[in-house]
Structure 1
Amino acid sequence: MHIAPSILSSFVTLFVTIGPVETAVVFASLTAGIHREQRRSLALRSVAIAGVVLFLFAVGGALALALLHISLPAFRVAGGVLLFLQALTLTFSSPGLSTLSESEKHDARQPGDIAVFPLAFPLIAGPGSLSAAVLVMGRTDGWVEASGVIAMLIICLLLTLGAMRMAERLIALLGATGADVVSRISGILLAGLAVQFIFDGLAQAALLHA
């Protein structure tokens, strides 16, 4: 079965920005001591909420940019820079709660439902993955490629849900070192994709063709 390079690239971009393994590590830290059934419910609801928002960004991102008079090349450059910064975090930071800011960690430890915050936002549907959803959809050509990108998004979300539900076993299998290696490899891949988005944006900018 032939898979278009753009669809495969979209999968890699969405996978490393959503980060199923990193999400599972944080999920395990935040839900330690919570009953297994409640953890499953939290995982399902957080992925569902994040999925809806990511889908809306993917299908409606271009329209929102047009309403704000932001060209797609400009957003590609801005999104590429944002993804590159996330790549640096993945490459040089330790996995786990380092994904969240100090204030977000404090709020996450308070009693209450954490499905929306911080699990759905900003852990799964964070600035990087939301920007990636708009960027990968923006370079599709026709409904076939667009459908392929949506399918890749769904697959990434299902992988994230699976990783969250098996968080304890996944952490036991990978260990701290394994999770760190996955995070750094993801950061390297994301850095390359981010730079490519910047190059594509600059190549399409009218300023460079003047």
Structure 2
Amino acid sequence: MPSLTHFTELVLATVLALLPVTNPPASAPAFLALTERMPPARRIAQLRAACCFMTAILVTFLVGGSLIMRFFGISIPGLRIAGGLMVAGIGSGMLTGSAERRTADAADDDAAEGRDIAFSPLAMPMLSGPGSIAVTLGLTSLAKTWLDYTAIAVGIVAVALIAYATLRLSGSIVAVIGRSGMNALTKVMGFLLLCIGIQFIVNGVLGIATDPAIVRSIRDAAAP
């Protein structure tokens, strides 16, 4: 029973950490612009493929995250601080509106060219961009067993399903809450993302401050 509780908590933690940064409702206007000239069947097919790409990208970084860290000599506290800075920066951009402007510009470019949009820009960077990857890498620091990795993967799939359902209903959502509602929702998500990023940084700093090897080296350097 404790393991099931821990599994559920890790799934929920993954969903709560990833959902603000993927922010499917904020991607709804861009998705509508990108698929405006597509027939309904192709629009749904593009969305389905994008969510599959999103899941594959994040699970790849989840599974290969530890290998990447070992190869480049990245510590877990360092990863948390770097990921926190990136996530906090994205959250700050959502609060100021700069992130939304970049997404709108990308949507206009791709809609004008009529390209396949499933992988880029829909899956990458709109749904699984640098912020989502940073959060996923940060979540690997919580995984100790294969069951933990499975829980995080389940959380990623859940976020992909939420993104699919949200963007599938994007026309109705935009019609109901309007542009001002979308802007307000984006700012709320941005604030949550900023808080998550700051907490990542705090956890990283605490990890460094409580590392016996680092504390010992600081003590030795300060000794006369």
Length-normalised TM-score, structure 2: 0.84
Q: Is the 8 A contact 1:24 1:160 kept in 2?
A: no
Q: Which has the higher helix share?
A: 2
Instruction: Using the TM superposition, give the Cα deviation of residue 102 of structure 1 relative to its aligned residue in structure 2, in angstroms.
Output: 4.3
Conserved in 2, the CA contact under 8 Å of 1:95 and 1:180? no
Structure 1 Cα separation of the partners of residues 24 and 106 of structure 2: 23
For residue 140 of structure 1, report the CA deviation from its aligned partner.
Answer: 2.6
Q: Which residue of the partner structure matches residue 113 of structure 2?
A: 110
TM-score scaled by length of structure 1? 0.89
Please give the alpha-carbon distance, in whole angstroms, between the structure 2 residues aligned to 1:19 and 1:25: 12
State yes or no: 1:77 paired with 2:81. yes
Which structure has the larger Rg over C-alpha atoms?
2
The answer to which of 81-90 and 30-39 deviates more is 30-39
Q: Greater CA deviation, 19-28 or 155-164?
A: 19-28
- Residues 27 and 164 of structure 1 are in contact (CA less than 8 Å); yes or no, is this contact kept in structure 2? yes
Confirm or deny: 8 A CA contact 1:13 1:132 kept in the other structure: yes
Cα-Cα RMSD = 2.3
Q: Any gaps of 5 or more consecutive residues in structure 1?
A: none
Unaligned runs of 5+ in 2: 219-224
Shift of 1:23: 2.1
In 2, Cα distance between equivalents of 1:99 and 1:67: 33
* 2:56 aligned with 1:52: yes
Shift, 1:5, TM fit: 4.9
Q: Figure out how many residues of one structure are paired with residues of the other and give that number.
A: 209
Aligned to 2:28: 24
Equivalent residues of 1:18, 1:129 under 8 A apart: yes
Which structure 2 residues correspond to residues 68-147 of structure 1 after superposition, within 5 A? 68-93=72-97, 98-100=101-103, 102=105, 105-147=108-150
Compute the displacement of 1:112 (Å).
2.0
Query: Whole-Å Cα distance in 2 between the matches of residues 185 and 9 of structure 1?
Result: 18
Q: Which stretch of structure 1 is more off in the superposition, 28-37 or 137-146? A: 137-146
Q: Which residue of 2 aligns with 1:165?
A: 168
In structure 1, how many angstroms separate the alpha carbons of the residues matched to 2:98 and 2:168?
22
| Structure-1 separation of matches of 2:66 and 2:177 | 39
